Homo-oligomer: A and B are copies of this chain.
Amino acid sequence: MKLNYPNAIKKEIITINENKNNKINHKNRGMTLESELNVTNEYYREIDKAYIYKKPTPIKIVKVDYPSRDKAVIKEAYFTIPSTTDYNGIYKGLYIDFEAKETKSKTAFSLSNIHKHQITHLKNIAKHNGISFLIVRFTTLNRTFLLKTDSLLKFINNNQRRSIPIEYFNKEAFIIKDGYRPRIDYLKIVDQIIGGK
């Protein structure tokens, strides 16, 4: 099986490896966006506010060993391209769906970070009255944005370039402020979106 990995998958592979070698300290300032979203979603569940989960990484399993009756060890498997976004769930009876990405760039977010069919997915969800968006963190600037699907599509439809400049985020996206609990209160922005509908 040969597969050319798009940037999104390459990053995922790197992240998994990094997480393996450097165990994440939850008190650490330098938490990844993924870890922060995980603790945020846990908090939302704890207070019975929303049930939003990260989907498991999609994998194609090729070989499984059974060293004992109740034990299965996967011995050969490959990362596959996700058909949807990473996060979905329910909030106030609404279907919530989003993808979250980090970039080290200070100037732009490259669209190569998202698969084409993930964009199609976000579009389908929005069309069916779900709340879909991207969360993008510019790690160097320490700034996290929520970009609604319609703003994302507006950019794609009106621009030739394959990366979204930070100016577009400043103008069109919502800033998500860092907090303690919840760590990144993106549902506060969702409330604004629902209110403005």
Instruction: Report the nearest B residue to A121, measured CB to CB.
Output: B51
A124 touches B51 (CB 8 A): yes
A87-127 to B contact mask, C-beta < 8 Å, 1/0: 01111111101000000000000000000000001001100
The reply to whether the CB of A153 lies closer than 8 angstroms to some CB of chain B is no
Q: Which of A51, A78, A82 has the most CB of B within 10 A?
A: A51
Give the distance in Å from the alpha carbon of A72 to the alpha carbon of B14 in the complex.
10
Chain B nearest CB from A62 CB (Å) reads: 8
A64 touches B16 (CB 8 A): yes
Give the distance in Å from the alpha carbon of A124 to the alpha carbon of B48 in the complex.
8
Contacting residue for A4 out of B61, B70, B129, CB 8 A: B70
The reply to whether the CB of A156 lies closer than 8 angstroms to some CB of chain B is no
Contacting residue for A56 out of B4, B56, B91, B94, CB 8 A: B56
Q: A56-B57, A95-B94, A128-B51 are in contact. Are A70 and B16 (CB under 8 A)?
A: no
B83 touches A73 (CB 8 A): no
B53 touches A56 (CB 8 A): no
A contacts, CB < 8 Å to B: 2-5, 10, 13, 16-17, 20, 45, 48, 50-51, 53, 55-59, 61-62, 64, 70-79, 82-84, 88-95, 97, 121, 124-125, 128-130
Can you add 15 more A-B contacts, CB < 8 Å, to A57-B59, A90-B129?
A3-B71, A16-B61, A20-B61, A48-B124, A51-B124, A56-B56, A56-B57, A56-B59, A57-B61, A59-B74, A72-B79, A73-B78, A74-B76, A74-B79, A88-B89
